[in-house]
Structure 1
Amino acid sequence: MENREIKGGFRTINPANEKTIKEYTYMTDADANEAVEKCHKAYLSWRKKSLKSRGDVLKAIGKGLMDRRPEFAELMTQEMGKVVKHGFQEIKLCAGLCEYTANEGAKELKDEERELPDGGKGIVTYSPMGVIYGIQPWNFPCYQAIRFAIANLIAGNGVLLKHAENVTGSALLLKEIFEDAGLPKHLFTVLIIDHQQSDTIIENNLVRGVTLTGSAAAGKIIAKKAGEQLKKTVLELGSNDAYIVLADADIKLAVETCVRGRIYNNGETCVAAKRFVVVESVYNEFEKAFVNQMKAIKTGDPTKKETALGPMAREDLREKIHQQVEESIANGAKILTGGKLPSGKGFFYPATVLGNVKPGQPAYHDELFGPVASLIKAKNDKDAMRIANDSRFGLGGGIFSKDEKKAIKLAQEEFDTGMVYINSFGLAQPNMPFGGVKDSGYGREHGGFGMKEFVNVKAVMVL
């Protein structure tokens, strides 16, 4: 395949056919610093705008996204290989986020009056902080950027985006949509920079906060660098989400939902169903149906409507997941379907199921970022919850049971994750918090919570 790196920049490559899409040049250090300064200057005016005025622009952004939905979905498929229908769904979610944030921002961020204990009046004000720097991954080229940008724009902040190199076209299209919708120029700025330059951006005095979506390893690096500058971070990191199938589960529903949860977005989703912890009494029934459905998954050209599974986004990502599969097999896991590298053009990997997954295997402990499912047998319901929590990660998870009240109680009291789905699989809801615990990071986005992550919660007291 073609080398991504070129002198002074990089090229983007279509993962379905390995052809070059476009070449980009890195900004100079001076250009990057000037971009930060311009963003800060734009912020100084934006912060004075009313919440309604900001919200009106966000609504226009949402409309702009829907107006250019086919174009954006096609570009995402070209740059990172997601099937087109998932791109359409992603844009719709992003438009919904714009609408929700615009409508709820005035309520979430309005001043609060409080009576002081010794008399007098207290006012809590949610003041914008300044320029917020977002380092975002490639798997949801629109959503990852929208998720942090929209929340910070309603709060009155300026936004810098360093997107993953392979979705640079998506980042620039997003900037165009933002400005066409009336967002002041430079308030949302795309930085085309390398890792070393990124470190300098974190150190820039005009940057007041840093948010990252990425791996746990990347999270530790960014948190340390930001912490050395005494700057707040929000981290949404990887996970190996467990979906628990209890003895009283609707097996047909569980199988169909778990298959969808594993292959959605080509299996390249942080909050995806990855480990399937099934109690012994229903394990064989679940395994047989699950493997059959995974075998039937149609892999191929992501631009075709009948395709359910496109290519992985990059060659190195395919190499990594195959290595994890091979290592798991060497340590006792069994291939129930898939697991073979296909020949031909494109970074395709088949829908794969591993059985006999146990501690000591990557399939048990690590995040498998691709269409590989880990089946784990549990003795009973209690053992299933123990296995689910036996992870350094804690982003999401699921519980399948016909006893909804029991499942909710387990989710609330036992599941050590930031999000839990009952008898369902989902990615994000605009009005519910999004984020994790343990090595899956900290901080929350969506549901009003993201609007307050990078604000100065200011106390004004009149005695």
Structure 2
Amino acid sequence: MQAINPATEQPLKNYPNHSNEEVTSTIDQAQKAFTEWRNTSYSNRADLMRKAAEVLRTQQKSFAAIMTEEMGKTLKESKAEVEKCAWVCDYYADHAEEFLKDEFIETDASKCYVSHRPLGIVFAIMPWNYPFWQVFRFAAPGLMAGNVAILKHAPNVPGCAEAILSVFEKAGFPKGVFSNLFITNEQASDVIAHRYVKAVTLTGSTRAGKEVAKQAGAVLKKCVLELGGSDPYIILEDADLDLAIETTVASRLKNSGQSCISAKRFIVPESIKEEVEQRLIKEMGSYSFGDPTDENTDLGPLVGEKYRDQLHDQVKRTIEAGAKCILGGEVPDMKGYYYPPTILTNVKKGMPAYEEELFGPVATVITVKDEEEALKVANDTYYGLGGAIFSKDVARAERLAAEKLEAGSCFVNAMVSSDPRLPFGGINESGFGRELSHHGIKEFVNVKTVYVR
């Protein structure tokens, strides 16, 4: 496994793959750890999880530097990501016991209740775009529930995988409670099928999710999939445009546009189309891109050359199909895998920017006649991860978000974001299952009925 610094195009440290024998040994060690970890008290687990949060905060700068070096995230975004990981550790340390307490039910029994017992080894296949957050998002609740974890991280962020392992080691978690493997996709298939592995969680592309779901289904393993998204942001005619433009652009350009829940399709009525486009040009054009280690840089590079070239191909094909590029749209002549803030307008059904997920700093403007058509376009997607509606009539926007917008997370006058307190996940080709909140921690437990006559 070897990362390439996307800002300099220079190769970084090389990490050798684990052999099949090492994979088997890691699984055996995890299973042994589980037999003891499952019986530890919530208070003991919470103490260790709070220590993990402390390690994250103490080493925030060094962990952030690894993220920025391996995948190009700006240093300020990397630091914020480390802090968010510490937050989710603290959150589940504080709430796991309450979330998983026994639920007593009145029946004809003398005692009847539902308990929540851990399953065992959870195998996690994680992506590169939020290389720390995605891991802690599953690990904090999973470990607090009494499960143990084995991580297969994206091959271009191996240093992040090792750094995350070091967090749990330094916090004092028993050996085998959290493990890291550098393995191929073929080896990952064998891990999924292993009799000690009880569940699989994946964050990644829809293509990868379908393959993992097929493999997990073949051996009847529970899985949670958080996949791609093409989130619609509807700006209604009565929206506060200052708020709407600032928020939608911030969402679209977060992490250089490499986020499943960023604003991707900007849906606007014809009556405000021209004003929205001019405001978008001004706002998106104000974002600088360059050295991600510079605290003044807004956008770093895309993670790799193939990802940048794929995005540019989608932009070109959309323009060839009749759309208009009103900002950006050209690969800059500079070292690194950079792509400028780009706006495509006059986008219609059938065009790549309408149908596909664009994983980079490209905004797609789709014009509609009215509210009814806006919702029709918003829901006209294979995905269903998130969405947002902007309107000064908050009651109207809330009704549309709650009743009409088809996605796992629907926000009003705000950007879609993940939060330890809220369930997170999608529908359709954005996956299934939920992470975070009390819903997330219950995904990988045995919901057991205990009936006593």
What TM-score does the superposition give when structure 1 sets the normalisation length? 0.97
Name the SS for the 2:437 alignment partner. coil
For 1:276, the equivalent position in structure 2 comes to: 266
- Is 1:22 equivalent to 2:13 in the alignment? yes
Equivalent pair of 1:16/1:347 in contact (CA under 8 Å):
yes
- Is 1:453 equivalent to 2:446 in the alignment? no
Q: 1:382 aligns with which of 362, 368, 372?
A: 372
Give identity over the alignment, percent.
44
Q: 1:45 aligns with which of 36, 40, 50?
A: 36
Q: Displacement, 1:105? A: 0.4
For 1:208, the equivalent position in structure 2 comes to: 198
The separation in 2 between residues aligned to 1:63 and 1:361, in whole angstroms, is 48
Q: 1:60 aligns with which of 51, 68, 83?
A: 51
Q: Displacement, 1:268? A: 0.3
Q: Which runs of structure 2 are paired with 1:168-317 in the superposition (5 Å)?
A: 168-317=158-307
The separation in 2 between residues aligned to 1:68 and 1:61, in whole angstroms, is 11
Structure 1: which 5+ runs fail to align? 1-9
Aligned-partner residue type, residue 188 of structure 1:
F
The separation in 2 between residues aligned to 1:178 and 1:423, in whole angstroms, is 38
Q: Which runs of structure 2 are paired with 1:29-178 in the superposition (5 Å)?
A: 29-116=20-107, 118-178=108-168
Equivalent pair of 1:158/1:188 in contact (CA under 8 Å):
yes
The separation in 1 between residues aligned to 2:328 and 2:296, in whole angstroms, is 20
Structure 2: which 5+ runs fail to align? none
For 2:339, the equivalent position in structure 1 comes to: 349
The separation in 2 between residues aligned to 1:63 and 1:425, in whole angstroms, is 29
Deviations 1:40-75 (A, max 9, x none): 111111000011211111111111111111111111
Equivalent pair of 1:101/1:448 in contact (CA under 8 Å):
no
The separation in 2 between residues aligned to 1:280 and 1:380, in whole angstroms, is 8
Q: Displacement, 1:296? A: 2.2
Aligned-partner residue type, residue 61 of structure 1:
A
For 2:2, the equivalent position in structure 1 comes to: 11
Q: 1:415 aligns with which of 396, 405, 408?
A: 405
The separation in 1 between residues aligned to 2:352 and 2:136, in whole angstroms, is 32
Aligned-partner residue type, residue 156 of structure 2:
N
The separation in 1 between residues aligned to 2:353 and 2:141, in whole angstroms, is 35
Q: Displacement, 1:89? A: 1.2
The separation in 2 between residues aligned to 1:396 and 1:119, in whole angstroms, is 44
Q: Return closer, same or farther for 1:119/1:27 CA change in 2, 3 Å cut-off.
A: closer
RMSD of aligned Cα (Å): 0.9
Deviations 1:366-401 (A, max 9, x none): 100011110011111121111111111000011100
Equivalent pair of 2:45/2:144 in contact (CA under 8 Å):
yes
Name the SS for the 1:377 alignment partner. strand
The separation in 2 between residues aligned to 1:94 and 1:325, in whole angstroms, is 34
Q: Displacement, 1:431? A: 0.4
Number of aligned pairs? 453
For 1:365, the equivalent position in structure 2 comes to: 355
Equivalent pair of 1:234/1:443 in contact (CA under 8 Å):
yes
Q: Displacement, 1:427? A: 2.1
The separation in 1 between residues aligned to 2:440 and 2:198, in whole angstroms, is 15
For 1:332, the equivalent position in structure 2 comes to: 322
Name the SS for the 1:148 alignment partner. helix
Q: Displacement, 1:236? A: 0.2
The separation in 2 between residues aligned to 1:268 and 1:427, in whole angstroms, is 14
For 1:318, the equivalent position in structure 2 comes to: 308
Q: Displacement, 1:345? A: 1.4
The separation in 1 between residues aligned to 2:317 and 2:37, in whole angstroms, is 52
Q: Displacement, 1:263? A: 0.5
Aligned-partner residue type, residue 202 of structure 1:
I
Q: Displacement, 1:426? A: 4.0
Q: Displacement, 1:119? A: 3.8
The separation in 2 between residues aligned to 1:153 and 1:171, in whole angstroms, is 17
The separation in 2 between residues aligned to 1:33 and 1:162, in whole angstroms, is 14
The separation in 1 between residues aligned to 2:417 and 2:132, in whole angstroms, is 14
Aligned-partner residue type, residue 262 of structure 1:
R
Deviations 1:238-287 (A, max 9, x none): 00000000011001111111111110011000111111001112111111
Name the SS for the 1:458 alignment partner. strand
The separation in 2 between residues aligned to 1:83 and 1:89, in whole angstroms, is 10
Name the SS for the 2:326 alignment partner. strand
Name the SS for the 2:18 alignment partner. coil
Aligned-partner residue type, residue 200 of structure 1:
D
